[in-house]
Amino acid sequence: MRYIKFRNLFLLALTTLASVAQSFAQNKTEIQVLSAVVKDKTIEGATIIFQKNGEASVTAVTDPSGKISIPSPFGGVDDASVTLIIKKEGYSTLVTKGPVKGLTYALSPTMTELDGLRVVLNWGNSPQDLDSHLSYPGNHIFFQKKKGSRANLDVDDTNGYGPETVTIEKKAQGQKYVYAVHNFSDGSVTGSHSLSSISNAKVFVYIGNTLVRSYAVPKGNKSGNLWTVFMIDENGAFVDINKFQDVASDNVERVLEAQRGPNAAGGEPVISQQDVDASARINRKGEEAYHAGNLEASVEFYQNAIELDPNNGQAYSNLGLSFQKLNRVAEAIWANRKAIALAHGPQTNTIQASSYYNIAKIYESQGHWEDALQHYTWAKERKQNTAYDNGIQRMKDKTGK
C-alpha cells in the first residue's frame, strides 16, 4: 500500500513538473538573427527590443549563435499589438509587428548605392521552401538564375524561416520591377492556403540605411501558391499588388512578365477617412519636429503618417526633405519619387518639379552628372524656374553636352 501511494505521489510530481516545464517553454520567446546577405551567418550582439502600448519595453541581446531566449514579454501575449525592433551597428534597423515568437529575422547591411535596394523574405518553419522572384525587362532572378543585370539573389533558403534576399544594385530608369513570393513546397498544388494561413511570411525592403517598406502576408486562408507583393514602376515608386494565384513553378516567369504589362495595376489600399485624418495630423507633428530641428523624430512621424495613409503625398515630400537634411540621400531619392507619383490636383506640376529638382541636387552632390541632368530637365518640363535652367547648364558643362 505504501508503495502504491509513493508511486502515485511520484507520478503526480512528475506530471506537475512536466506541466510546469511545458508552461515555462510556452512562455519563452526565442528569436534568431541572421545576416540577410551571407547564408547562415549569425549576428551576435544585436539588440532586440519588444514594445507594446502601455507596457515597459523589454530588451535582449543576441548571443554568439544569434539567438535570444527570454521569458515572453507582456504575459506571453504575441500578436500585432507587439512591435519588434532589431538594431545593430552597420545594419539597417528592422521594425515589424507580431507575432514574433520562434521566428528568424535577417538584418540588411547598410547600402551605399543611390538607386539600390534590398528585399528580404522571412517566414516560419512551414512551408519549408518559399522562393523570392524578381522580374524586370530581360531578367528573372530566382533560385535557378541567381544573377541578372545589376541584381542578384544573395541568399536562397529551402528548409524554412529564410532569409531569401534579393539585392538590386542599381535600378534602371524607366523600367518596371515586380517582386513575388512562390510557395515551391506547393508548386504543383492548386487551391493551397498554406502560404497565406501558416507561413507568417514577411517581406522587408531596404534603401540606404532605412527599412522603407514592409509587407506581412495577408491572412484569411487566401488560395494560391504565388503572392505577388509589389511592383516598382518606371519612376521608382512602389505600387502594392498583394495578389494571390495558383501558378506552377515553371510558369512564374510568364505570370510576372504579365504583371509588368501596360495594363497591370496594383490593388488600391482601403483607407478609412479616420486613418486619412490621423495621417494628416501626424504629418503636421512631423513638420513641427522638422522646424524644431529634430530631424530623426520628423522621419518617424512622417513614416507613421505614411503607414496610416500610403497615398499621403505631402508626407512623402516632407520625408524626402528630412532624409536629405540627414544626408540619407538614397532614402531621400525614394521618398521624392513617391511624392512625384502621388502628386495630383492643381499643384501637381509644382510638386513634381520641386521633387525632381531635389533628386537632381542629390545626384549632382554625388557626382552623378547624367542622372542630375535628366532630373533637372524633368523639373524644367513641369515648371519654369531659373534654378532648373542653371542646373541644366551646370550638368551640360560637366558632361560636355
Please report the DSSP string for 78-122 in residue order. Answer: -STT-EEEEE-TTBPPEEEESP-TT-EEEEPBPP--TT-EEEEEE
**Mean pLDDT throughout 300-325?**
91
How much is the pLDDT for 20?
41
Cβ of 2: how many Cβ atoms within 10 Å?
6
Peptide bond before residue 163 is cis, with ω within 30 degrees of 0: yes
CB 73 within 8 A of CB 60: no
Whole-angstrom distance, CA of residue 198 vs CA of residue 134 = 23
Closest CA to 179 of 231, 226, 255, 246: 231
Whole-angstrom distance, CA of residue 106 vs CA of residue 40 = 10
Could you give the dihedral angle defined by the CA atoms of residues 232, 234, 235 and 238, in that order, rounded to the nearest 10 degrees?
A: -10
**Mean pLDDT throughout 332-347?**
91
Convert the pLDDT of each residue in 73-101 to its tens digit.
Answer: 888 888 888 999 999 999 999 999 888 88
Residue 38 has pLDDT above 80, yes or no: yes
Q: In the chain, which segments carry CATH 2.60.40.10?
A: 1-109
CB 376 within 8 A of CB 391: yes
Cβ of 144: how many Cβ atoms within 10 Å?
12
**Mean pLDDT throughout 32-43?**
94
Convert the pLDDT of each residue in 142-164 to its tens digit.
Answer: 999 999 999 999 988 888 788 99
Q: Using a CB cutoff of 8 Å and minimum separation of 24, what contacts does 365-368 make?
A: 365/329, 366/114, 366/329, 368/114
> 401 or 145: which carries more pLDDT confidence?
145
Residue 7 has pLDDT above 70, yes or no: no
**Residue at 87: amino acid letter:** K
Q: In the chain, which segments carry CATH 2.60.60.30?
A: 111-268
C-alpha Rg value of the chain to the nearest Å: 24
Cβ of 268: how many Cβ atoms within 10 Å?
10
Convert the pLDDT of each residue in 209-267 to its tens digit.
Answer: 999 989 999 887 789 999 999 999 888 888 889 999 999 989 999 999 998 887 665 55
How much is the pLDDT for 4?
52
How much is the pLDDT for 26?
56
Closest CA to 267 of 228, 239, 237, 241: 241
Could you give the dihedral angle defined by the CA atoms of residues 87, 89, 90 and 91, in that order, rounded to the nearest 10 degrees?
A: 0
CB 184 within 8 A of CB 129: yes
How much is the pLDDT for 221?
75
Pairing of strands 67-71, 83-87: unpaired
How much is the pLDDT for 19?
45
Question: Which pLDDT band holds residue 23 (cuts at 50, 70, 90)?
Answer: very low
Q: In the chain, which segments carry CATH 1.25.40.10?
A: 273-399
Whole-angstrom distance, CA of residue 159 vs CA of residue 138 = 30
CATH topology assigned to domain 111-268: Lipoxygenase-1 (2.60.60)
Residue 380 C-alpha cell reads as 524644367
Cβ of 26: how many Cβ atoms within 10 Å?
10
CATH topology assigned to domain 273-399: 1.25.40
**Mean pLDDT throughout 338-360?**
91
**Mean pLDDT throughout 48-54?**
91
Cα–Cα distances (Å) from 328 to 102, 204, 233, 261, in that order, read 33, 18, 22, 33
How much is the pLDDT for 24?
41
CB 61 within 8 A of CB 68: yes
Closest CA to 214 of 334, 297, 122, 124: 122
Q: Where are the alpha helices (DSSP H) in 166-218?
A: 194-197
Residue 286 has pLDDT above 50, yes or no: yes
Sheet holding 104-107, edge to edge: 67-71, 28-35, 104-107
How much is the pLDDT for 267?
57
Cβ of 297: how many Cβ atoms within 10 Å?
16
**Mean pLDDT score of the chain, rounded to an integer?**
88
CB 286 within 8 A of CB 324: no
Residue 288 C-alpha cell reads as 513641427
CB 299 within 8 A of CB 95: no
Residue 125 C-alpha cell reads as 518553419
> 228 or 27: which carries more pLDDT confidence?
228
Tell the residue number behind the cell numbers 549569425, with chain if given. 42
Residue 16 has pLDDT above 60, yes or no: no
Beta strands in 329-397 (DSSP E): none
> 187 or 232: which carries more pLDDT confidence?
232
CB 151 within 8 A of CB 140: no
> 120 or 345: which carries more pLDDT confidence?
120
Assign domain 1-109 one CATH number from 2.60.40.10, 2.40.30.10, 2.60.40.3880, 3.30.920.30. 2.60.40.10
Residue 351 C-alpha cell reads as 510638386
Whole-angstrom distance, CA of residue 348 vs CA of residue 339 = 10
How much is the pLDDT for 397?
94
